[in-house]
Amino acid sequence: MPRPVTLTYKVYPTSIATAEAGALLFSETASQVSQARGRVRIAISGGSTPKTMFKILADPKYPYLTETPWDKIDLFFVDERTVPPTDSDSNYRMTRENLLDFVPLPPAQVHRIEGELDPEVAASKYESDLRNSFKLEGAETPTFDLLFLGMGDDGHTASLFPHTEGLNEISRLAIANHVPQKDTWRVTLTWPVINQSRDVAFLIEGSAKAKLLNEVFTGPYQPETYPSQIIRPASGKLTLLIDKAVAEYLPAPLPASDEKSPAIGTLELK
């Protein structure tokens, strides 16, 4: 049975405003956690909305470049394509070109998935990195302070694609997942690791995914068909940062209190 969670969806007028909300969440979480516990562990995904979020975090016109405690952050990747870090499809390359080259985040605190290696080797090395970085023992699972996800137009998230073997893995931290529909391999965190995070936020925008978003979060539970449904954090809460276009078919949220605030809705996922 799926774990019940409270889904909060925050609806912004544009995709840019959605990315700005992601940047604010990133920076505020880093500041709050660093003050409370010292180290901050954040996991990020690829995609167009995260790319814009990274640009905002690195843009001196915004406060995040100077106000974010970059020296306290350990940055991890949710998943990676099986390509070298210089490849145009690499999530790491996209992150470097839009964020890492412009912010004072120490390179040793960036935990890359080595997509250029054999997929099983890359997954094993990433799992070892996670265990060492979080100082895990035995069957312990890492707990990220914040983890960002996207959702593909087939309902996948991370590199957990519909009807793939990775959906059945519950003991590993990171795996090589074969994706027959794309004739490729991906390296990804497993869903139990994602669900252990203190705060999980989906960044989704665009009218093309509006019907899918509604089906995933208000339709019947079919995680083999819609892997995004398997994301049910242990914290009991899940956040969607979305734009008005993709929210079209969700239950109408409460109106925004002012021009800078999102409209907010909630759903109880059983």
Find, among 41, 78, 81, the residue nearest to 189 by Cα: 78
pLDDT at 158: 98
Helix H or strand E encompassing 174: strand 174-179
Is the pTM higher than 0.85? yes
Measuring CA to CA, which residue among 10, 162, 187 is closest to residue 82? 187
- Cα atoms found within 13 Å of the Cα of residue 29, Cβ hemisphere only: 23
Question: Nearest to residue 75, comparing CAs of 182, 152, 50, 35?
Answer: 50
Q: b or e along 97-109 (b: 16 or more beta carbons within 10 Å of the residue's beta carbon)?
A: ebbbebbebeeeb
Q: Which fold has domain 5-269?
A: Rossmann fold (3.40.50)
Which pLDDT belongs to residue 210? 98
Q: Please state the domain extents for the chain.
A: 5-269
Mean pLDDT by 10 residues, the chain (270 residues): 95 96 98 97 94 98 98 98 98 98 98 98 98 94 98 98 98 98 97 98 97 98 98 98 97 89 96
Q: Measured between alpha carbons, how far apart are the two ends of the chain, in Å?
A: 9
Return the pLDDT at 39.
96
